[in-house]
Structure 1
Amino acid sequence: MTGLAVPLWDVGNGQGLRQLSELGLALLLSSLIGWERAAQQKSAGLRTHTLVGIASALMMEVSQHGFTNVLGLDNVSFDPSRVAAQIVSGIGFIGGGLIFVRRDAVRGLTTAATIWLTCAVGMACGGGLPVLAGAVTALHFVVVRGFPLFTERLVPGSSASAFELRMTYRTGTALLPQLMETCTRRGFRILQVKVDRLPGRTDSAARVLLELEGTGDSAALTAELFENDGVIDVETAAPVDD
């Protein structure tokens, strides 16, 4: 019978090897994108992007080769683009879950867009378009890593990042306003302040959580804050996801 699909498990023929190579390419390219996101300490990192990429590639393989065995039957039509359209629609659930709003600031858009891009790269690999898949992966690094350097010169403040700063300091000397002034002088905007007393300490210490946003040097800010005699310790948390 003609028109039968080549089983995905049949690797002894050229088409089976090609399908496995396309899945391998999707694994490689989506892992590269996921590695970049993980290096930026984003919530969706290496594993998420890799799984999205290879799953998209597999669904494209199924779309193209999984139903051809029924083409010889009467009253049966085949439209492989329908599966591809459902992949694009379905990835929106993952992307939407990565976006959140905090005090009128939208976070997670870049990560959600990267998930969408990784899905497209996997679809291109599964669809037999390795050149386009490789080119889009390269463009991802240009946009995510190169554009912030370029736009910072054209639009001042466009590369502002948000992070959390935790400090333990001695109370009773009106030190907190001075520390906050240091943050603003260093080019950071204070988004949130939360102060907690630390019971059981003999030095009347308090713990403050500052959520900051700006284009300044966070390491230099931490060093300057720690130079104050009233500051016991300073630490920064992972940046808020973008």
Structure 2
Amino acid sequence: MTFVDWGTFPDQLTLLLAAFGLTSLVGLERRLRRKSAGLRTHALVGTGSAVFTLVSAYGFAPLPGVDAGPDPSRIAAQIITGIGFLGAGVIFTNRDVVHGLTTAASIWLSAAIGMACGAGLVPLAAAATLLHFAAALILTPLSRRLPSMVAPQGLRLRYEDGHGVLRDVLAVVDDLQLTASVVSTRRTGPADRPEIDLLLRLEGKTDLRVAATHLSSVPGVLDVAQEALEHERETWD
């Protein structure tokens, strides 16, 4: 005995393909930006969310003993929880810097787009896809141009080890109203006069050249140079 309603299958397939296509566009944008979750991940998340929504809406009504009718929220509500765990997998912290938040948010959005398609709200899903591109292509460069949003800056210092120089350096950084996090540190120099090579990630409104001038005057600091950070513009992506 079969419970398949072949009359509704063309409509369901159309919704499924819409979810696949729209979330593939979201994944393509992430792939072009070389993010950890790209084309396949977003397409599968969106398609899977659409399938769950369709199953929740159509899959249980024909079953014997089911008198209450279909409840689309029964399975679809659990998608949100499941996608939360999946999104957490692309977020990681490296030396107090968080990476992957934007990608996790895009996975969450792909699930929402898939659910909208599964519910038959394809125009809403298309609008959400367009808003994703608006956020990626318009809001991202705009946020970098806001006066209060100064991009993180890298400063490499070489100083004498064992003389409390780092403590003095951090005190100067604090006086300049900058927030510092250590990107890398390496011990160099001869054994009798050890030195530390330190790369700091600085955030704040103070110009890097002003910070370099102040830090170079700290006793024990041998050299100060500006250095570009590898993920300077992609910390939250």
Q: Residue 132 of structure 2: SS of its match in structure 1?
A: helix
Q: Distance between the aligned counterparts of 2:66 and 2:140, measured in 1?
A: 56
Q: Residue 35 of structure 2: SS of its match in structure 1?
A: coil
The residue that corresponds to 1:24 in the other structure is: 17
Q: Residue 115 of structure 1: SS of its match in structure 2?
A: helix
The residue that corresponds to 1:58 in the other structure is: 51
Q: Residue 193 of structure 1: SS of its match in structure 2?
A: strand
The aligned amino acid for 1:37 is R
Between the aligned residues of both structures, percent identity stands at: 43
Q: CA deviation at 1:106?
A: 2.1
Deviations along 1:212-232, one digit per CA (max 9) or x if unpaired, are 788xxxxxxxxxxxxxxxxxx
Of residues 169, 183, 205, the one that matches 1:192 is: 183
The residue that corresponds to 2:219 in the other structure is: none
Q: CA deviation at 1:96?
A: 1.1
Deviations along 1:146-179, one digit per CA (max 9) or x if unpaired, are 11222223244455599xxxxxxxxxxxxx95xx
Structure 1, unpaired ranges of 5+: 163-175, 178-188, 198-207, 215-235
- Does residue 37 (structure 1) correspond to residue 30 (structure 2)? The answer is yes
Change (3 A) 1:60 1:75: closer
Across the aligned residues of Structure 1 and Structure 2, the Cα RMSD in angstroms comes to: 3.7
Listed as ranges, the matches of 1:95-134 within 5 Å are 95-134=87-126
Listed as ranges, the matches of 1:151-230 within 5 Å are 151-157=143-149, 160=152, 191-193=182-184
Q: CA deviation at 1:105?
A: 2.3
**How many positions carry a matched residue from both structures?**
187
The residue that corresponds to 2:128 in the other structure is: 136
The aligned amino acid for 1:52 is V
The aligned amino acid for 2:183 is Q
TM-score when normalising by structure 2: 0.64
The aligned amino acid for 1:35 is L
The residue that corresponds to 1:225 in the other structure is: none
